[in-house]
Structure 1
Amino acid sequence: MKLSKLGQFWWLALLSCLVVLSLGGNAQAASDQSLAQVKAKGTLVMGTSPNYPPYEFQINEHGKSKIVGMDVEIGKQIAKDLGVKLVVKKLSFDSLLPALTTGKVDMILSGMSPTPARRKNVDFTNIYYTEGEAILINRTDQAKYQTKKSLAGQKVAAETGTLQYNLIKQQMPASKLTGMSSAANLILALKTHKVAAVVKGTASATAYAKNDPSLMAIDGHFKTSSAQAGNAIALKKGSTSLKVAINQSLTKIKAHHWIQKRYLKTAGKYLKVNTADTSMWHYRDYFAKGLEYTLLIAIVGIIGGSLLGMLLAMLRFNAVRPLRWLATGYVEFVRGTPLMVQIMFVYFGIGMIVDVSALVAGMIAIVLNSGAYLSEIIRGGIQAVDAGQTEAAESLGLSKGATMRYVVLPQTLKIIWPSLGNQFINLIKDTSMVSIIGVTELIYQLGIVQADTYRGVAPIGIAMVIYFVICWVLTRLLRYYENRLNRGHARQLN
């Protein structure tokens, strides 16, 4: 068939556009170094929240903690195909996307659904596993709650930031939506009747119901769009080459049906390991490790915070106005923002410039926060010292520095000692905040034990006892030194 000159013109124009687009796409792919960077460093860092069996969870194997599950097996295969080593990084689910966008992890493999909202910030691979959504209820309520409509007016919970959370909001408007950041807390709330039901992926809901006879799973009959259906791997925006390589691995995994034939079966075996012995003594190493990190962070926070607090307090009395303004501004800013936000800023924000581990970031944030509060305690103590003491020291010829060191600060310490003690005890409890960035302190380990054993209350009781013992011992030490200070002051008066 012959074309007119006008037709030929439009065909040439169309071909030109296709060539330009192709060249542009090739140029973009060529500029993308995501796959090359992974191969160059020899590791593929997988971000995950290991409290979502059978996708990812932890087991106590020969006294050592190990992250296992279907997603971990998929990650191993991808790393093997890329010729690199898989490194699994633990984070709370809410922290996974910030970790990806700031380069802390190379990919998120954590049962994540590629919702439109998430696609705006990250890229997703092809769907690797598709399942429905189930509703977990207490077995004693099975006569009352048989469909999602029967839960009208009742509290229904899901993890914040998940597809299930949005499905409740959209398709169960008559129910009272409750969001929580931990899968373990969801199950605990359900078993204690704080909520009537929990919405989870079918595989996870089935795992919980199978391992806990007090729970049962019912079909949610939720409607999901093709863009939301199933789970995919999240990658940083523009990671085209890495995305192509991972999709090739996923295609091979799906072609061989390894998820059904291997990975889910492997996850099931690991689940039996956890439920074989759910005693708290069996998980003593978890609590011991959590205690170790809690004490380490607390000690660093107390020492570092005290030094920073003293520096800030001295700057508040400095004759140079800019230094006073700087110290005042810092104290007001830190005291006016939540500690959790500060921890996330240090880890994800500053971490974009200087790569620091979660533990180091947590300790830095605790020091910066406690320093601001301690500076106000120290400043108040200095102002409480009788002005006559300073005048007497100056009349004896002591310099300002010597007066502060030998006269004011010793009396300040006696005045502020009870307040310092309260701040130190609060600091020990504040260490629990660093669990949000995956530091394995006591609260983080508590959540892992809950998820692994399907027991909600017992791990909380153990953690409470440990915190109480720490604070009780610290209180006794503080009182001992307070009595010594008082006796020393009494001898000086006599």
Structure 2
Amino acid sequence: MKRNLGIALATLLIFIMSVVAGGTKASADDNSLQKMKDAGVLRVATSPDYPPFEFQATIDGKSKDVGMDIEIAKQIAKDLGLKLKVMDMDFGSTLVAVQTGKVDMAITGVNPTEARRQSVDFSKIYYNGGQAFLVNKKQLKEFNNAKKLHGAKIGAQTGSLQHKLAKQDFSDSDIQSMDKTPNLIFALKNGKLDAVGLEKPVAEAYAANNKDFAMIDAGYKLDANETGAAIAFAKGSDSLASEVNKSIDKIHKNNWIPKYLKTAGKYMKDNLQDTSMMHYWKYFYNGFLNTTLISVLAVIFGILLGILLVLMKLSSWKLLSWTATSYIEIVRGTPMMVQVLLVYFGLGAVLNLSALVAGTIAIALNSGAYVAEIIRGGINSLDKGQNEAAASIGLSKVDTLRFVILPQAFKNIWPSLGNEFISVVKESSIVSIIGVSDLIYQLNVVRADTYRAVAPIVVVMAIYFLMTFTLTRLLNHFERKMNND
């Protein structure tokens, strides 16, 4: 049902986290419900870029998570007598968050497939809306039913159920996949696709709120046990699952799902009342603040770590040298995305780190490795006579390094360090996958809320450019001062 972005990576990380955190948190003595009651909080993971299931709306001047899934989570928390805490993150991270204990459950329109049941447990199906295709209304005569899509260009989210079904039933069509549903919608609107496979309520929501789109039934024959939406829990959370299933039964008995969808539709219409970028300035402003905070802290601690690593690497003690070299090679040889997820879910299994803190630590640890190599290059570029001259006037090795070597090295490597600082600003965007509300995270939220493809991208590009341009001018100023000294 819901997009399955990063399912392969998530599966790999679940295995890694099991090793780091000592395996699954479930045990024969299930205390999942009691732990939550002791804390008084129900922590729920979601990915708010999939209306009408979950998305964001501005309420009383503040951005809040809304949608059918959020209403269901509220009801579950009410029935359990707990305070609801919604934790936003990329969809590919939600099941990992459940498995590693970062959250108590994930409600994000996910399908309880057999593959996923190997990693997490699921509740009863709380909603099954069916499958549909979204098409351009001007092509409705040409594609007025699913059979006519054979041979057409069909889009679906990468790794999703819709992608799997399209490949099975439309093998003669050009099946294209993208990571984000909004990107598929924009491709459809621009004529790059003839149809997009979606969950029926999602297709209905897009069609109802955009006069250019129409919905047609997909006509798939499906197994309701795998295609409906269910709530995910950590393995062995039977007591929690039992109580949640009671809430789901209560919701079905009172027929509250249509009411939840109606409420979600109202928020979607409210979002479309004003889709100007000025209306969403707070989203971009908050993203700018978090991006700036992460970048500044990562640069400061990255420099300090880099100096420490280079001293260790140049040390005559083999243990220190080998440790620093190994760290640098591992960091430089693995993707930053994996490092961010490892710190958040791995280290977070031991220490209760927020997404912002974990993201900052991961970026700083990554930057430190590159800074170390830059500094080492600057030290090696100096004439060896500098050490001899310092020794001749009685300076110790520490004083030589502090007053002679490092100042000259930093002067030589300043342009390279400047490039690293600029890279940190741009690469910090990766923290959006764990739910940090940086610029990229807010970009995706605004695109999902407004259905506008280009304008939010242009705004974020302009903000990043102003940030890096200002930083470049500042770095050039200090470079000129060093050259004049």
Please report the TM-score for the alignment, with normalisation by the length of structure 2.
Answer: 0.91
Quick one: distance in 1 between partners of 2:470 and 2:254? 58
Q: Which residue number in structure 1 is paired with residue 170 of structure 2?
A: 172
Residues 298-352 of structure 1: CA distance to partner in whole angstroms, max 9, x if unpaired?
A: 0011001010011111111101011111100100010000000100111112211
Quick one: distance in 2 between partners of 1:102 and 1:145? 45
Quick one: distance in 2 between partners of 1:100 and 1:59? 25
Q: Which residue number in structure 2 is paired with residue 91 of structure 1?
A: 89
Q: Which residue number in structure 2 is paired with residue 189 of structure 1?
A: 187
Alignment of 1:55-66 (within 5 A): 55-66=53-64
Q: Which residue number in structure 1 is paired with residue 427 of structure 2?
A: 430
Once the 2 structures are TM-superposed, how far is the Cα of residue 89 of structure 1 from its aligned partner? 0.8
Residues 232-268 of structure 1: CA distance to partner in whole angstroms, max 9, x if unpaired?
A: 11111111111111111111111111111x2111111
Alignment of 1:316-355 (within 5 A): 316-355=313-352
> Would the aligned equivalents of 2:128 and 2:224 in 1 still touch at CA under 8 Å?
no
Name which one, 1 or 2, has greater alpha-carbon Rg: 1
> Would the aligned equivalents of 1:115 and 1:163 in 2 still touch at CA under 8 Å?
no
Q: Which residue number in structure 2 is paired with residue 221 of structure 1?
A: 219
More off after superposition, 198-207 vs 432-441: 198-207
Once the 2 structures are TM-superposed, how far is the Cα of residue 121 of structure 1 from its aligned partner? 1.5
State the identity %. 52
Q: Which residue number in structure 2 is paired with residue 33 of structure 1?
A: 31
Q: Give the match's secondary structure for 1:158.
A: strand
Q: Which residue number in structure 2 is paired with residue 129 of structure 1?
A: 127
Alignment of 1:223-242 (within 5 A): 223-242=221-240
Structure 1, unmatched stretches of 5+, are 1-27, 489-494
Q: Which residue number in structure 1 is paired with residue 160 of structure 2?
A: 162
Once the 2 structures are TM-superposed, how far is the Cα of residue 172 of structure 1 from its aligned partner? 2.6
More off after superposition, 122-131 vs 223-232: 223-232
Q: Which residue number in structure 2 is paired with residue 48 of structure 1?
A: 46
Q: Give the match's secondary structure for 1:108.
A: strand
Once the 2 structures are TM-superposed, how far is the Cα of residue 214 of structure 1 from its aligned partner? 2.3
State the AA in 2 paired with 1:227: N
Q: Which residue number in structure 2 is paired with residue 443 of structure 1?
A: 440
> Would the aligned equivalents of 1:116 and 1:227 in 2 still touch at CA under 8 Å?
no
Q: Which residue number in structure 2 is paired with residue 73 of structure 1?
A: 71
Quick one: distance in 1 between partners of 2:245 and 2:73? 12
Aligned residues: 460
Change (3 A) 1:102 1:230: same
Change (3 A) 1:378 1:265: same
Please tell me the root mean square deviation across aligned C-alpha atoms, in Å. Answer: 1.7
Alignment of 1:268-279 (within 5 A): 268-279=265-276
Q: Give the match's secondary structure for 1:277.
A: coil
Find runs of 4+ consecutive structure 1 residues off by over 6 angstroms.
none
> Would the aligned equivalents of 2:52 and 2:68 in 1 still touch at CA under 8 Å?
yes
Q: Which residue number in structure 2 is paired with residue 472 of structure 1?
A: 469
State the AA in 1 paired with 2:482: L
Return the match for 1:209 from 201, 207, 210. 207
> Would the aligned equivalents of 2:125 and 2:225 in 1 still touch at CA under 8 Å?
no
Quick one: distance in 2 between partners of 1:91 and 1:126? 23
Quick one: distance in 1 between partners of 2:143 and 2:369? 51
State the AA in 2 paired with 1:235: F
Q: Give the match's secondary structure for 2:109.
A: coil
Quick one: distance in 2 between partners of 1:153 and 1:390? 73
Q: Give the match's secondary structure for 1:54.
A: coil
